[in-house]
Each structure stands twice: as C-alpha cells, then as structure tokens.
Amino acid sequence: MMERLFDIFFSGLALLVLAPLLLPIILILRFSGEGEVFFLQKRIGKNGEIFDLFKFATMLKDSPNIGTGTVTMSEDPRVLPVGKFLRKTKINELPQLLNIFYGDMSVIGPRPLTTQTFNTYSESMQDVIKQVSPGLSGVGSIIFRGEEEIMHGARASVDFYDSVIAPYKGSLEEWFVTNRGLYIYFLAIFITVWVVLFPKTTVAWRAFKELPEPPSELKLFLNYED
C-alpha cells in the first residue's frame, strides 16, 4: 500500500516536471518517421494480467512481426533515426509513467515483458515474478541497462537471449521479489539515476547485496565486480 502511494506521487510529479521535455518529443515524433507518437504493446503484469504498455514510438510499426520479433539487437535496422536517441537515453520509456499512475506498474519492479520474452523464463521464475507489479526500473533493468549493446556480433541471436540472458535476468527478478521492500524501492530509484549519469559504474553490485553471479559470457558486459 505504501509503495502504491509513492508510485502515484512520483509518477504524477514526474509527468508535471517532465512535461517541457515530453511535449516537444511528441511533436517531433508526430511529424517525423511514420508519424506515430506512442507504441502500445501487450505486456504481462501482476498475477499474469495483460496490460497495454506505453512507449514513445522508436521502431517501424510492424517491428514485432519483423526479424527478431520483440527482442531488439544492437544496430537493429527496425529502429527509426529519432528512435536511436530516445532508446539510448531511455527517454522512450518515460510514457510508462502513465502506466504507473494508472496502476498497471510500479516505479520499481521486474521489467514488464511480452509473452514471447516472458516465456523464456522457467515456470517457477514466472510464478515468482507474477507476484508483484512490473516496474519502470528495477534490479534487472539496472544490471541489464546496456542489453541492446550485449546483443551484438556473435551474441546477436534469439538463441543467445533465450539460453544466456533470459535465465540470468530471471534470477535477478526473483532476487528482487524475495528482497523487495521500501529500502530496496528507494535504493533502486537512486541507483537508476546514478547509472544514467555514470553508465560504467559498478555501484549496483555493491548496493544490492548477494545478487546472483552472472554467467561468464556476461560478466564483462555487466560491469560485474567479484
């Protein structure tokens, strides 16, 4: 209940404060690319309920039915020119403040996934993750903040995502659900801001105690600290 009150407060305040940034982006998107401003996509929420997730449109309209589907690679040709900047800065995620305000999401939680990507988790992982509301940011999002850069070269395949990235990301989301509380909530907000300002920082590994160790293929890309 307490987290929900903070969600309403933070999302409402953020929408007001960020309005001078969001309105020009809406105009740019409306008159560039394919003219689409928002991209609504079905995502899995708390208790497995499906909701429409808001994002700024950064890719071709039919992207989910082209190439790698809902998995985005580095230098993905489906990404529109303005979309590259919005994705790099994570500005494309800001419309999810509406999802938080409406109650579909929380500020902090597991990343809301499409059915395609959610099904890469084991059934036991899915059962745990569905216990809580998905989040705009969270432990999994912080650790995998450069996920598109990881999916490059020899790693640019759905198989690599399914066999290496998804199992580890799922274990991070399980860790969050097990350890969630107001302390983790506010700590994750602070670290989210910190890693946006300092992308190469390793602070998350020190702040979140006893996170699952990443597989060897990912340690370098996740700035892992022993």
For residue 61, what pLDDT is reported?
A: 64
- pLDDT tens for the chain, residues 1 to 226: 789 999 999 999 999 999 999 999 899 888 876 678 888 889 999 999 999 999 988 876 655 555 555 555 555 667 777 778 888 788 888 999 999 999 999 999 999 999 989 999 999 999 999 999 999 999 999 999 877 777 665 566 778 888 889 999 999 999 999 999 999 999 999 999 999 888 889 999 999 989 999 999 888 889 887 7
pLDDT at residue 156, as a whole number: 62
Longest Cα separation, the chain: 48
> From the centroid of its chain, how far is CA 77?
20
* Predicted local distance difference test score (pLDDT) of residue 33: 67
Q: What is the pLDDT of residue 63?
A: 59
Nearest in space to 79 (alpha carbons), one of 68, 69, 70, 87: 87
Predicted pLDDT of residue 57: 83
pLDDT score of 162: 86
At 110 the pLDDT is 96
